[in-house]
Amino acid sequence: MPEAAKSLVTPDMEERKGVWGNERTSYPVSESDIRKWAIATYWPETPPRLFWDADYAATTRWGGIVAPMDFNPFAWPPERPQMRAAGAAQARSGRRLTVMNGGQTDTYGARMRPGDVIRSRSRLRDWEERQGRLGQTLFVYQETEWHNQKDELVRRRVSISIRY
């Protein structure tokens, strides 16, 4: 088989496909966390009152303060988990691969509220391999789900990495 046609899928990937990894759990979300996130993301504008004014938020369909959709309860961990370098991917042959960010898609469910505790889990969902301009190319789909303490889906993210 010519070098360009050899698969970039590793035995480790085949083992991990579809398997959820260990869960992480956030600290309880606080009104202060939500307010600070909203101030930072809307800066220099004033954020919508839904994110910081409890009296106003009580009059909305949400019945209280909710977090912006992009709020991340895992943004400030006291200890950071060890991350594998993006460039560390290797082909079966052992040669180093170039890795690029192929984008991500977020799907939102229940809104995060003060007091929520969010659980996160991730898995290697699947991949596609094909011949591209730069040779054999592998599109890897990583899926991350967040659920609240009621087991409601809060967010699903599918991230794509491109390896060649």
How many Cβ atoms sit within 10 Å of the Cβ of residue 120? Answer: 20
What count of residues does the chain have?
164
Better-predicted residue by pLDDT, 154 or 78: 154
- Return the domain boundaries, the chain: 1-28+99-164, 30-72
The token pair that represents 30 in the structure block: 């606080």
Nearest to 155 by CA among 115, 100, 104: 104
**The whole model's pTM is what?**
0.82
Contacts with 51 (C-beta within 8 Å, 6 or more apart), sequence order = 34, 35, 37, 38, 57, 65, 66, 67, 68
pLDDT for residue 155 is more than 90: yes
Separation between Cα atoms, residue 154 and residue 6, nearest integer Å: 39
Lowest mean pLDDT among 27-36, 95-104, 136-145: 95-104
Adjacency order of strands within the sheet including 119-132: 24-25, 119-132, 135-147, 153-163, 99-108
48 falls in which pLDDT band (50, 70, 90)?
Answer: very high
Separation between Cα atoms, residue 63 and residue 43, nearest integer Å: 25
pLDDT for residue 124 is more than 80: yes
Question: What per-residue confidence (pLDDT) applies to 1?
Answer: 40
C-alpha distance from residue 28 to each of 4, 31, 117, 155 (Å): 49, 10, 5, 17
pLDDT for residue 18 is more than 80: yes
pLDDT for residue 52 is more than 90: yes
- The maximal CA–CA distance of the chain, rounded, in angstroms, is 68
pLDDT for residue 82 is more than 80: no
Q: Taking the domain 1-28+99-164, which CATH number applies?
A: 3.10.129.10
